[in-house]
A and B are shown apart, each in its own frame.
Chain A
Amino acid sequence: MNKTVAVNGMGWVSDKAFGTSRQELGTLVSKQGVKLPDRKLLFDEEVVNFRRFDYESKLSCSLIALALRDAGVKAREKKEETGIIGFGRYGSNVSDKDYYSDFLKFGEKTGRGHVFIYTLPTSPLAESSIYFRLMGPLYYLSKESNMLHQSLESAVRLIMSGEADNMLVGSVEDFPFYILIGEQRKNSICLVDDLKHIKTNEELVSRIRSSDQ
């Protein structure tokens, strides 16, 4: 089936600010040494257990909230045909270290379950799928090089083959972002093909922000 796949929404977070493809929405709030967008600005309904999420899960949920809002998609509506591919270099390294250091601290007697559940590279994606009710394919990719393109290509294949209508693709590393891609529509931001030569997350965010909309 021939479809033209386009970017329909984006959320991004830099060192200081956050926003969508269309605008910068605010500056980051620092809480307990972690900088994130103020979640009151992002979520219409409380995200259950958000305080217990690891940083990567909090950031993923924030970025996906921005990308869906940018695309005009209702956050809590069930989305059977929307999936997520996350990519990065480090997987769940930070949570892995937290969990195991904690386990050692307690004399190797007991681990903390609520930390252990974040020791999968897919944990932040899963938390996002739960809040936003995304029921499409979900997995994490890593590669020595070209991760951004491999992830985009995988997501496009899922859409072209009819396995998903929309895919969220993004990373919480380097210049964190998530984009929502799907079939081209009137108010699409740009085509996925237009992103072919982009090498870094930052370039991608910049390219999408500068697209004529």
Chain B
Amino acid sequence: MSSSRVVICDYDIITSFGQGIAPLWDALLNNRTSIAKVHRFDTTNFSSSFASMINDLDCQSQESLFLQLLDKFSLDKLKLKDNTKILLATSKGEIDLLERELRDNKKVSSYDPQETLKRVKDKFSFKQGVAFISAACASSSLAIAEGARLIEAKEADSVLVLTSEIVTPFIFSGFSSLLALDEQPARPFCKYRKGLTLGEGAGFMLLMSEEAAKKDNRNINGVVSGWGSSSDANHATGPSRDGSGLKLAIERALKKASIDSAKIDSISAHGTGTIYNDLMEIQAFKSAFQDDLKPVYSIKGATGHLLGASGLIETVVALKSMEDSLIPDSVNMTQVDEEMKGFVSKDKRQFVSNIVLNTNSGFGGINSALIIGKYE
């Protein structure tokens, strides 16, 4: 392999807007949210009754909701080589199996990462082993980074990243107990934001070395130019107030991409809608970009917080943003927070973007930064 550039070939996503980027992109450009009252389970005792749910999942099925989401993808069409590495990224995986076992005293299938890996392997008839990567809400972005690293090190020429996250009483009650949920649909970067809203989603992304992609005549949709991660080393659930951990991840990604911050055209932020996350991100961006702040947006007012699946789905949105030269709305934001004025916008904007920075941060202070470029 002579080229070590890591390119993004095929991908697909599912959110509560439907399958593919098109319905999500349309919603983002038209300020529409999929967040609605939860009907799948009782939310009476929780601090919110809202989430962004995918409605055609079968809670009575022998198959977990997590796997049902992944099952919507036709991975056989990818015609993967036997040596393609498979990375499965999730924070809570098939947690609904554990709930059914403990609540209904009905063991459908065993709940643990090893069993999940076996089921994913069997479902898609993968010949090779699957590796499970978990890094809280940065899981899929760190899996993309791991895939890119494998290709850069020439230990693989193709890596498939899979991700899936669901919303269940386990997850909902947990976030509720931490007072992390907004009683209204999440309003990232809004002056009136009060918390996050949970969401369901899944996706896959095929990363390849540029040379292998060309040889296979694959469509090339973008480039993973840089990646970096860090830990805040600060708090189990809350982000570092000064954004220093995320800034470190951004600096590492810029270094990996061999570019300076001026080259970044726009920022796809984690933007959960919690008071502290959004403020932390803005501090990190201000610190990393100094006086040269870039347009920032978050999709979580539309999709809810997709937990470990966020990074991959937001990377797909970033590709679309570059393709259409548009910065999408930060849905649900009615009035921008004073700290964010000037670079977070309520409305979509025409903007030629060739390089997007995508950031994610999770519990335990895990930060991730991906630099995604247009393929030229």
Contacts and interface: CB of A to CB of B under 8 A. Distances in A.
A144 B118 CA distance: 7
B182 to A, nearest CB: 17
Interface stretch (A17-25, A31-39, A83-91): A83-91
A134 B248 CA distance: 12
A161 B132 contact: no
Nearest to B91: A120
Contact of B364 (A100, A123, A141, A145): A123
A142 B132 CA distance: 5
A117 interface: yes
A143 interface: yes
Contacts of B91: 120
Contacts of A12: none
B99 A122 contact: no
Interface string B168-194: 011001101111000000000000000
Given A99-B170, A143-B117, A157-B150, A122 B177 contact: no
Interface in A139-160: 139-146, 150, 153-154, 157-158, 160
A111 B176 contact: yes
Contact of B113 (A109, A113, A121): A121
Tell me if A's interface is mostly helix, strand, loop or mixed: mixed
A195 interface: no
A101 interface: yes
A83 B233 CA distance: 10
A163 B174 contact: no
Contacts of B287: none
Interface in B195-212: none
B375 interface: no
A142 B112 CA distance: 10
Interface in B11-68: 42, 45
B133 A139 contact: yes
B98 interface: yes
B103 interface: yes
B42 to A, nearest CB: 8
A112 to B, nearest CB: 6
- The CB with the most chain A CB atoms within 10 A, among B129, B169, B363, B364, is that of B364
B146 interface: yes
A161 B236 CA distance: 28
B129 A143 contact: yes
Contacts of A83: 229, 231
Contact of B174 (A116, A132, A142, A160): A116
B69 interface: no
Contact of B170 (A103, A133, A144): A103
Contacts of B130: 143-144
Contacts of B152: 161
A167 B97 CA distance: 34
A100 B366 contact: no
Contacts of A127: 236, 364
Contact of B114 (A96, A111, A139, A144): A144
Given A126-B364, A138-B364, A144-B117, A90 B231 contact: no
A104 B99 CA distance: 10
Interface stretch (B134-142, B298-306, B323-331): B134-142
Contacts of A132: 233
Nearest to A153: B155
A130 B95 contact: no
Contact of B131 (A109, A125, A150): A150
A113 B174 contact: yes
B3 interface: no
Contact of A120 (B99, B132, B252, B363): B363
B245 interface: yes
A162 B253 CA distance: 11
Contacts of B179: 113
A190 to B, nearest CB: 22
B45 A143 contact: no
B153 interface: yes
Interface in B224-263: 228-237, 245, 248, 252, 255-256
B365 interface: yes
Contact of B365 (A91, A110, A126, A161): A126
B73 interface: no
Contacts of A123: 236, 363-364
A129 B234 CA distance: 8
A83 to B, nearest CB: 7
B364 A129 contact: yes
**Nearest 7 CB-CB pairings of A with B:** A126-B364, A116-B174, A111-B173, A142-B132, A139-B135, A142-B113, A113-B177
13 contacts: A83-B231, A99-B170, A112-B177, A122-B364, A127-B236, A130-B365, A138-B366, A139-B139, A140-B134, A141-B132, A153-B155, A158-B149, A163-B252
Given A83-B229, A111-B173, A158-B149, 5 more contacts: A89-B113, A96-B98, A113-B174, A129-B233, A138-B135
